[in-house]
Copies of this chain bind each other. A is one copy, B any other.
Amino acid sequence: MSLHEDMLAMGDRALAAARALADLHSRRKNNILHAMADELEKRREQIKGENRKDMDEAESAGLSPALLDRLLLTDGRIEAMVRGIRAVADLRDPIGARISRWIRPNGLEIVKRRVPIGVIAIIYESRPNVTADTSALCLKTSNAVILRGGTEAIHSNVAIAEALLDGGRRRGMPEDALQVVRTTDREAVREIARMEGRVDLVIPRGGEELIRAVSEAALVPVIKHYKGICHVYVDQSADLEMALRIAENAKCQRPGVCNAMETLLVHAGVAREFLPRLAARLTALGVELRGNPAARALAPDMKEATEEDWSTEYLDLILSVRVVPNLAAAVEHIARYGSRHSDAIVAEDEAAQAEFTHKVDSAAVYVNASTRFTDGGEFGMGAEIGISTDKLHARGPMGLEELTTYKYVIYGKGQIRE
């Protein structure tokens, strides 16, 4: 069979599994989830052995320490996957819930009901825990899932998926509810993204290049998880102690993630007081600062920020800093260079807060809090499959509800249209 035929067959199996999944009640799904977790726990040593193969190959291929760290599975990380699956089992099942209901003048009763999306394909890189997390979320929402992880993690991903499958099937998980693409051929990604009628949604998670390649090829709807160029704007009315604390947290608490701050905008009216303190505090924590001329005039140790800096996601201890004349200029900067992910204002003035939250068009807009809170767990969703930077269907953290769609069920007594 050609790759094309292989993938179509995989899509057909996923479709059949999706229909079988729609018949499972919540309790059955939760039993399956716990059985998946049990089996994962039981196979810890075997999974670490398979992960060792990936690590060895990655080391000889010369992957960076950061990537090696993302790939590594430890007892603690496997335990976290197990806990994650059990946590998903404990969440409320959104499927079947009535979203709304109304009766028309002609007597038709319209019920809008939450249903699974169907078949979801996840294209991801590096971190093998995504295999367990997304399988659990898709199972809970009665969606069949096709997993296409990174080549560098193939042994780990297959070992994890097999544990989940063997555990789940013992409790009645439909055959093919969870399928792993085992070929490392890049063409498989393109095939998946073009399987209209078999795949209902593709979620690419990873680098910009991967996401762009999927969007470019796709006929199937895609929810993109692009980068986060997140801003903190310190208003003239800011509590400067709070601003220092939020800036430090947004930049330093975990710089390698999409909700970390990349650019700090400071109102000119407080820059003289604020910037030297900020520079001292962040420099002491190892942060490299790159400023516009007005910023550098107040904190001379800063490097000069180039035009490119404003649209760079550093994912590192680097921060670009711009002094702006007013709030409108901050909003303008965010519209021009931001990625519509997470942006914050630090301000005591309520008019400034209102203007910022109204005008900044991002998934999450914060008043007096760190951008680092954009996360399914922190939002109280219990789990997340990622953070959408798209505006359609799901925006920001995607939890269980965002993995569902709806249908209208209409009850009549023989009504016809006049």
A interface residues (Cβ-Cβ under 8 A, vs B): 19, 22, 102, 104, 108, 110, 115, 117-118, 196, 200-201, 215-216, 218-219, 221-223, 239, 242, 245-246, 248-250, 253, 335, 357-359, 361-370, 372-374, 378-380, 390-393, 395-396, 405-417
Q: Which residues of B contact A102 (CB under 8 A)?
A: 380
Q: Which residues of B contact A110 (CB under 8 A)?
A: 379-380
Q: Which residues of B contact A409 (CB under 8 A)?
A: 357, 364-367
Find out whether the CB atom of A368 lies under 8 angstroms from the CB atom of B416.
no
CA–CA, A172 and B201, complex, Å: 40
Report the minimum CB–CB distance from A153 to chain B (whole Å).
Answer: 27
The contact sample of 18 A-B pairs, CB cut-off 8 A, is A22-B361, A104-B380, A108-B369, A117-B392, A118-B361, A218-B218, A223-B392, A246-B414, A361-B407, A364-B407, A364-B409, A368-B411, A369-B410, A369-B414, A392-B393, A392-B405, A395-B405, A395-B408
Find out whether the CB atom of B407 lies under 8 angstroms from the CB atom of A249.
no
Find out whether the CB atom of B395 lies under 8 angstroms from the CB atom of A393.
no
Beta-carbon nearest neighbor of A369 in chain B: B412
Q: Which residues of B contact A117 (CB under 8 A)?
A: 391-392
Find out whether the CB atom of A372 lies under 8 angstroms from the CB atom of B417.
yes
Beta-carbon nearest neighbor of A393 in chain B: B393
Which single member of B216, B359, B390, B415 contacts A369 (CB below 8 Å)? B415
Report the minimum CB–CB distance from A248 to chain B (whole Å).
Answer: 8
Find out whether the CB atom of A115 lies under 8 angstroms from the CB atom of B415.
no
Number of copies: 2
Q: Which residues of B contact A412 (CB under 8 A)?
A: 366-370
Q: Which residues of B contact A415 (CB under 8 A)?
A: 368-370, 373
Task: Among A239, A245, A393, find the residue whose CB has the most chain B CB atoms closer than 10 A.
Answer: A393
CA–CA, A410 and B218, complex, Å: 34
CA–CA, A221 and B357, complex, Å: 25
Closest 6 A/B residue pairs (Cβ): A369-B412, A249-B416, A393-B393, A372-B417, A242-B414, A221-B392
CA–CA, A158 and B411, complex, Å: 42
Given contacts A219-B215, A369-B108, A380-B104, contact A363 B417 (CB under 8 A): no
Q: Which residues of B contact A239 (CB under 8 A)?
A: 414
Which single member of B365, B396, B407, B416 contacts A365 (CB below 8 Å)? B407
Report the minimum CB–CB distance from A221 to chain B (whole Å).
Answer: 4
Q: Which residues of B contact A380 (CB under 8 A)?
A: 102, 104, 110
Q: Which residues of B contact A365 (CB under 8 A)?
A: 407-410
CA–CA, A240 and B20, complex, Å: 32
Report the minimum CB–CB distance from A341 to chain B (whole Å).
Answer: 11
CA–CA, A358 and B246, complex, Å: 49
Which single member of B115, B223, B378, B406 contacts A104 (CB below 8 Å)? B378
Beta-carbon nearest neighbor of A379 in chain B: B110
Q: Which residues of B contact A359 (CB under 8 A)?
A: 19, 22
Given contacts A365-B409, A405-B391, contact A416 B108 (CB under 8 A): no
Q: Which residues of B contact A218 (CB under 8 A)?
A: 218
Q: Which residues of B contact A411 (CB under 8 A)?
A: 367-369
CA–CA, A33 and B265, complex, Å: 39
